[in-house]
Structure 1
Amino acid sequence: MQIYSIRIENQSADSHTISVTLLQALLSVLIEGSKGALRLRTEGRSIVRGAPPQWIKSATTFSMTFKDKQLQIGSPTLYESVPELFHETEKMEGLLPENTAIDYFQESLIAILNDEPEDHLYDKALLDLLLGFRNIFYQGVDSIHFFTDGLEINLGTTKYFKNLVDKIPPPRRVKMAGKLDDIRSNDRTFKLITTPNNVIIKGITQPMTQKEVQVLLSEEVLISGIAFYTTSGKILRIETDQISLANAHDEYEKVICEI
């Protein structure tokens, strides 16, 4: 279990109580943001319609105390909360057992606030969620200081989040060709190594049988679907509606030229 401090700066003289609605707004962003940051690392998307996987719920089961205008949030490490993630059969690439869900949320916040090039650490849905901080500042809070790195969020910060949202290109339909390097059975995520420039593209497939996966894995394929982008205009992920073997030579050559 790791402990994280969140300091709330406002005009209240009472340092031992906190508004229930303020607390609800803050914890909503923290919990849902941590879920989204975890999902981004594994699926390339922070929010999906419907309930999140059980392992994400377990990893974001936090504890809390409040004293002297500070929240103390307890967050289990991933190995403590979901050790099965690190078994060879279910291993999630990109997650470390000693890290917590809040570590990944913090990493995404740092990337956003420092204008770092790692814009794959956040997407439009996560930025939209962070705009929920406005509900806290409308209740008399001046600023919030997150964690030991001193990350400060204020009303001006939420305007910056909105500017980043506006920079993200809209999703669009694409076709790509390349080698299907990996498909994970538990969440249907895949990696495509594009032809001819060898760029790794991540995405999510439609439901597939194990037999269909075996036919396509490590083969040259054509994919079509909807591409979602980062603030810099790079492809964050592709949600496919079709993956097929690249056995139609003329079409394969045409798609390569369009990339």
Structure 2
Amino acid sequence: MHSDETTNVNILLSNLRANNDENIVLIKTGALNPVHRSHISNLVQTKQYLEDVYHFHVLGGYISPTHDEYVYLKLRDDWITGECRIAMCEKAIEEAGQQSWLSVDKAECMAKEFVDLSIVSSSLQKFINDKLKLSTPIRVIYVCGLDLFNRCGGLRSLRYSKMGVAVVYRPGEQETIVKQAVIKDSNIFYVPIKDEIKWTLEDVSSTLIRKTLKNNQSCEHLTYTSVIDYLRTIPIRPLKHKCIVDEKDE
């Protein structure tokens, strides 16, 4: 599934260093229709937390847009092609200044059909370990919001396959399951957030961005300027638009 064509391992090689810290790679999947600020900030927060508290060394992180088949069936008229979603993720990473360790993983989008997130994650882990061949294997940790963790029964398939799950708080979601799971399972990491901050957080979502843009309202606080500019170049309609590619990217 993963290959040199889909996955840039150069960011991992550039961040290798000689120490005894466990090397970690993060992955976040999702429709990313479109990518927003919380997608990037969740990865940044997770990296900082794992390095500060667990002394892991995060070599890199990947944002993996979900296959068109799934996103189209889910969103219909609001569906944006995988090619365009990849392009917007690349722009978001660059605008956020995280390109030294974050990259877009195209394997899921380029697959022949929809692939479950556990298979995507395990395929990535196998690929990067086969490529880098370090003395100690690199562990992939899947980053998700609290809503997905609750909805998918704690993502057990990832926790029991020599990987891990890092969960980031999302407004309005119950924390009972994840707090109990962290105590019982060392492969679950709950990225903390202060209680006084929780009540001030806005629940950012791609749905809100699409709705805001359709109403001709400002959404710079929800996603990146480069993403908004890109969205305005494409009609959000199924099977009726092609990706607008910058000349410098052709």
Which of the five TM-score ranges fits, normalised by the shorter chain? under 0.3
**Structure exhibiting the larger radius of gyration computed from Cα positions:** 1
Under a length normalisation based on structure 2, what TM-score does the superposition of the two structures give? 0.27
Under a length normalisation based on structure 1, what TM-score does the superposition of the two structures give? 0.26
Q: Which has the higher contact order (CA 8 A, sep 6+)?
A: 2
Is the helix fraction higher in 1 or 2?
A: 2
